[in-house]
Chains A and B, each alone.
Chain A
């Protein structure tokens, strides 16, 4: 049973990655080809998910949007997690002055609400998918660092770390061999939360009209466009929404499975 669930999730993830990679090639229609006279038409044999408010094929836009939305969020998560691990483990492991400096800097950045920190950073960098990913990633890094630091502190307080120091290991060695290994379970769980936030933020940026280039349909953008037509064409709204939900669902479920697996190894 467990194995079946695992297989299902891996399958879902693979399908998603596949869509992101080849989506644009298998899309039956262009995502920007608008047939306004046929706006909001319901699903039929030619248009699997019907058309949106401007008469564009929803299914094709969904496929094209996978790259934009998921790719952007994944990049942001990578930035946030790597940066978070670096900062958080350094702060937690070294303690003392280093810790204080890092904590205060993080506090400064954290004090600015995440979405708005991202906005500020974005306003510095201009428009574009890459810039959106960068700004969201950087804005989530302080939170990631905080979480990692908390885990590291927790791990540090366990007996074996103290004994490792007592046995003469230097800080870096302890960090690599004990702290990181035992924190990975927690870190991967945080990474999936950060991925969720990234996708939320990417969608929010789309929603607020901040993603700049309108040639690539992001799922968040599709959501916002479809809100005005939800009464006549609910599919155009539900499709990107469920796409977001399903993709993040499978990613996070998989990461939790992975985390439990890792824990078993650690025992």
Chain B
């Protein structure tokens, strides 16, 4: 009787399993809706309104839902027309006048014109909307003037060189004023209407974001190959917060494009030919540790320099990033505008010099236990890391290197989320903390290195640097701007307030048969309009 029950149960279970296998096999053999691509992203915790929210993730799909006034062509280093046909910037850098295209329609049929530009910018700058990124990209806007149906001016209160870069980003994409007024600030994100090659269909929170091609699209910018209607019918974005699952999804056919594949998996995929890896460098700041200048012992310049000299970044890049990322030597990634190559090789590993420098700080091993101490108390250096960007692994390698070379105790504290990281920063009980920010324009340095910057977690207070950063932001002449930023980068490294590790390189995986994946100058946002499913 005992065994009869069990036998029945086992048979039932077996039938269930077989049934599922059959169904799933069938499901795999028949291809999905023709001309659809599934694109894998990591999970966006924040909302997806480009004017209000700040995550990089939202830009990936929305880059193709919205057009921007201008686009940046990294090959020529110039801005090319987008929704604006032409533009004029006044000599004092305060007046930007755009002449707009006349043939553009929003996805809801309403026409794009100067009034639309004004509505969009008003929405972004409205304090009630609490724009977390778009408003900062616009900078010090005083007013927006509509001259006629297709001519509009943006007037600044002071010069702001990064404005054109901002206007080329999806956060300043132009949305339909009709849609903006129909929905309020928190619900618009589910009903987005732009002018781009893809239409926004739906966003099911934490599940998928669906785009469909815009059959009326005619006004692509010169930076893409396909100026008209895209080839791929539908693109479905799904979320893969767990890094090892991304390669699995790609291999299993659950996704045809996958972003941010871990380096070890990318190498394996590339070697086996299961998928193509498209590495895309992301300009802005590299993976880096900001060094706290107000806490012993890192308040001493010698100690900070010693830490840099004792770091073997080559080993880190090779072991953790499988050589996909170049080493970063300065506060800017090498693909950022006005990156200064003279920082290359700064603080190349020199363990002997590191020890000598550390000794000058007076912290030696006074009690003979093999570790440095400060009047008997062992010296401990604390690193705080978030879980992303492989920062914990980097920290562990640094710990090993520094303990061996410098003989100081290293403690690594990993926090689980950004509010916790921010809390640690406020508490100030760290020596190094990992945080960075992306963007093609080097103005991203300001928030980190200005004495009153919101992310000045190294607590640097250098008035000369403050002046340089401000003038860099306001200088309209490219040659002079380049020189200013060169000075800034060298000055930051002279003070050793940051330990750069590697340039971010987004490892995208593409299934066999998918062609045309191209990214914009910001590195993160793809031009989906060029995608095609080859046969």
The residues of A with any CB-CB pair to B shorter than 8 Å are 32-34, 36-37, 39, 53-56, 127, 208-215, 225, 227-232
B408 nearest CB across to chain A (Å): 13
Q: Flag the segment in B38-46, B185-193, B409-417 that touches A.
A: B409-417
Question: How near does chain A come to B262, taking the closest CB pair, in angstroms?
Answer: 5
Instruction: Indicate if the CB atoms of B416 and A210 lie closer than 8 Å.
Output: yes
**In contact, B399 and A32 (Cβ under 8 angstroms):** yes
| B316, chain A: closest CB distance, angstroms | 7
Check: B395 CB closer than 8 A to any chain A CB: yes
Task: List 7 A-B residue pairs with CB atoms under 8 Å apart, sorted by A's residue number.
Answer: A53-B319, A53-B393, A209-B392, A209-B416, A213-B411, A214-B395, A228-B243
- Assess the A37–B318 pair: CB atoms within 8 A: yes
Residues of A within 8 A of B395 (CB): 214
Cross-chain contact A215 with B414 (CB below 8 angstroms): no
B residues within 8 A CB of A37? 315, 318-319
Given contacts A33-B404, A210-B416, A231-B268, contact A54 B396 (CB under 8 A): yes
A212 touches B264 (CB 8 A): no
Residue of B nearest to A205 (CB): B416
Distance in Å: Cβ of B35 to nearest Cβ of chain A:
33
Determine the distance from Cα of A23 to Cα of B395 in the docked complex, in whole angstroms: 24
Seed contacts A34-B396, A232-B268; 15 additional CB < 8 Å A-B pairs: A32-B400, A34-B397, A34-B399, A34-B400, A36-B319, A36-B320, A37-B318, A53-B319, A53-B393, A210-B416, A211-B414, A212-B414, A214-B395, A214-B396, A232-B264
**10 closest A-B pairs by CB:** A36-B319, A34-B400, A214-B412, A36-B315, A209-B387, A227-B244, A34-B397, A39-B319, A228-B264, A209-B416
B414 CB contact (under 8 Å) in A34, A56, A209, A227 = A209
Partner of A54, one of B265, B393, B404: B393
- The reply to whether B413 and A127 form a contact with Cβ atoms under 8 Å apart is yes
User: Which residues of B in the span 235-271 have a Cβ within 8 Å of any Cβ on A?
Assistant: 243-244, 262, 264-265, 268
B264–A229 CB distance below 8 A: yes
B350 at the interface (CB under 8 A from A): no
Set of chain B residues within 8 Å of A214, measured between Cβ atoms: 392, 395-396, 412-414
- The interface of chain B, by Cβ under 8 A from chain A, is 243-244, 262, 264-265, 268, 315-316, 318-320, 387, 392-393, 395-397, 399-401, 403-404, 411-414, 416
Neighbouring A residues of B244 by C-beta, 8 Å: 227-228, 230
CB neighbours of A39 from chain B (8 A): 319
Looking across the interface, which residue of chain A has its beta carbon closest to that of B245?
Answer: A227
- A215 interface neighbour in B265, B268, B319, B411, Cβ under 8 Å: B411
Instruction: List residues of chain A with CB within 8 A of the CB of B411.
Output: 213, 215
Out of B264, B318, B401, B413, which one reaches A53, CB within 8 Å? B264
- Asked if B318 and A228 make an inter-chain contact with CB atoms under 8 angstroms apart, the answer reads no
Question: Closest approach, in angstroms, between the C-beta of B263 and any C-beta of chain A?
Answer: 9
Assess whether B416 is in contact with A213, with CB atoms less than 8 Å apart.
no
Determine the distance from Cα of A213 to Cα of B392 in the docked complex, in whole angstroms. Answer: 11
Nearest residue, chain B, Cβ from A38: B319
Please, which residues of chain B bring their CB within 8 A of the CB of A232? 264, 268
CB distance from B425 to the nearest CB of A (A): 16
Residues on B with C-beta less than 8 A from A208 are 416
CB-based contact A213/B413 at 8 Å:
yes
Question: A55–B399 Cα gap in the complex (Å)?
Answer: 13
Q: How far is the CA of A127 from the CA of B415 in the complex (A)?
A: 9
Contacts of B403 in A (CB 8 A): 32-33
Pick the contact of B396: A32, A211, A212, A228 (CB < 8 A): A32
B residues within 8 A CB of A36? 315-316, 318-320, 397
> Are A212 and B413 closer than 8 Å at their CB atoms?
yes
Chain A residues lying within 8 Å of B315, measured Cβ to Cβ, are 36-37
Quick check: A54 and B414 within 8 Å, CB to CB? no
Which of chain B's residues have a CB closer than 8 A to the CB of A227?
A: 244
The residues of B that contact A55 with a CB separation of less than 8 Å are 319
Chain B min CB distance to A79 (Å): 23
Complex interface: chain A residues within 8 A of B262 (CB): 228
Contact of B319 among A54, A210, A212, A228 (CB under 8 A): A54
Docked complex Cα distance between A127 and B414 (Å): 9
A69 to chain B, nearest CB (A): 17
Q: Which residues of B contact A213 (CB under 8 A)?
A: 411-413
Which chain A positions have C-beta within 8 A of B264? 53, 228-229, 232
Q: How far is the CA of A56 from the CA of B396 in the complex (A)?
A: 10
- Nearest to B399 among chain A residues (CB) is A32
B265 to chain A, nearest CB (A): 7
Complex formed: what's the CA distance from A25 to B243 in Å? 35
Tell me, in angstroms, the Cα distance from A55 to B318 when the chains sit together: 12
**CB-CB < 8 A to A229: which residues of B?**
264
Nearest opposing residue in chain B for A127, CB measure: B413
Tell me whether B413 and A54 are in contact (CB under 8 A). no
User: Are A54 and B416 closer than 8 Å at their CB atoms?
Assistant: no
Bound together, the chains give a CA A213 to CA B412 distance in angstroms of 6
Q: From residue B528, how far is it (CB to closest CB) to chain A in Å?
A: 29
CA of A225 to CA of B392 in the docked complex: distance in angstroms?
10
Which residues from B are CB-within-8-Å of A53?
A: 264, 319, 393
- A259 to B165, alpha carbons, bound, how many Å? 72
How many whole Å from B313's CB to the nearest CB in chain A?
11
Task: State the Cβ distance, A63 to closest chain B Cβ, in Å.
Answer: 18
* Chain A residue nearest in CB terms to B394: A54
Q: In whole angstroms, how far apart are the Cα atoms of A127 and B264 in the complex?
A: 30
Residue of A nearest to B390 (CB): A228
Enumerate chain A residues within 8 angstroms of B393, measured Cβ to Cβ: 53-54, 225
Alpha-carbon distance between A155 and B400 when the two chains are bound, in angstroms: 57
Give the residue name and chain of the A residue nearest to B397 (CB).
A34
The reply to whether B416 and A33 contact each other, CB–CB distance below 8 Å, is no
Report how far A64 CA is from B396 CA in the complex, Å.
16
Between A34, A56, A225, the greatest number of chain B beta carbons within 10 A of the residue's beta carbon is seen for A34
CB neighbours of A54 from chain B (8 A): 319-320, 393, 396-397, 400
> Which of A39, A54, A227 gathers most chain B CB within 10 Å?
A54
Residue of A nearest to B386 (CB): A209
Cα(A66)–Cα(B176), bound, Å: 60
Query: What are the residues of chain A within 8 A of B392 when measuring CB–CB?
Result: 209, 214
A109 to B393, CA, bound (A): 36
Q: Is the CB of B413 within 8 A of A33?
A: no
Listed residue (B265, B268, B400) with the most chain A CB atoms within 10 angstroms of its CB: B400
Cβ–Cβ < 8 Å partners of A209 in chain B: 387, 392, 414, 416
Assembled-state Cα–Cα distance A54/B392 (Å): 11
Chain A residues with Cβ under 8 A from B404's Cβ? 33
Of listed A209, A225, A227, residue having the most chain B CB within 10 A? A209
Residues of B within 8 A of A211 (CB): 414
Q: Report the bound CA distance from A127 to B423 in whole Å.
A: 13
Q: How far is the CB of B345 from chain A (nearest CB, A)?
A: 20
Smallest CB separation, B419 vs chain A (Å)? 10
Measured CB to CB, the nearest residue on chain A to B403 is A32
Chain A residues with CB below 8 A from B399, complex form: 32, 34, 215
Q: Cβ of B387: which chain A residues have Cβ within 8 Å of it?
A: 209
